[in-house]
Chains A and B, each alone.
Chain A
Amino acid sequence: EVQLVESGGGLAQPGGSLRLSCAASGFTFDKYAMHWVRQRPGEGLEWVSGINSRSDNIAYADSLRGRFTISRDTGKSSLYLQMNSLRPDDAAFYYCVRGDGADWGTSFQYWGQGTLVTVSS
């Protein structure tokens, strides 16, 4: 069974940083692209970032303006999102998502339960 378990969410001050983690199990981690998708409370889904299976192809939503960094550790079957210069509008549930292929695939096949990031002073 595919499992994606996010951690690292919590309260951060504006301008602060957080590092989200996602522990993956139930599949061969190094064979799939991974993504972060966020959802502000009561709002829709927003793709944040993706990384292919070999970590040689990475992409970010234009709106992030270089503040976030995605990475993965095959040995630990884990995905990460380093979030810097946090703004109040970054507050959201952040979902770890597995793609359906080694490169970008064609869909977001499996989702974690999400971790909540709150940005407030």
Chain B
Amino acid sequence: QSALTQSPSASGSPGQSVTISCTGTSSDVGGYNFVSWYQQYPGKAPKLIIYEVTKRPSGVPDRFSGSKSDSTASLTVSGLQADDEADYYCASYAGSNKWVFGGGTKLTVL
């Protein structure tokens, strides 16, 4: 179980779009459509914002979208807002009832 690879940081100006990537292998991201994304504010618990690669839980704005190509998943945040500034983590099922997270990306709204 090796952690999924995320860029440590990303940034964008209000109103712009930013994409955060999450790279794994054929044993995790590439092998299953069980990629999810989590938003975490400092000192708070993570919150699910995308599941099964592209689906949004009720209440999550449609400015958040997910996709996957081969072993790389992506989270796109459109129409950036100040309160989108947070840490974002991807996660994937890795087979044998195990799960793996990415190292996290700190999103800064300029």
**Docked pose: A58 CA to B97 CA in angstroms:** 8
B4-26: CB near A (< 8 Å → 1, else 0) gives 00000000000000000000000
User: Which of B32-56 touch A at CB < 8 Å?
Assistant: 34, 36, 38, 45-48, 51-52
- Interface residues of A, Cβ cutoff 8 Å to B: 35, 37, 44-47, 50, 57-59, 61-63, 95, 100, 104, 106-114
**Docked pose: A108 CA to B89 CA in angstroms:** 12
| A44/B89 in contact, CB under 8 A | yes
User: Which of B72-110 touch A at CB < 8 Å?
Assistant: 89, 91, 93, 96-104
**Docked pose: A108 CA to B102 CA in angstroms:** 14
The interface on chain B, measured as residues whose beta carbon lies within 8 A of the other chain's beta carbons, has a size of: 24
| B51/A44 in contact, CB under 8 A | no
**Docked pose: A44 CA to B103 CA in angstroms:** 5
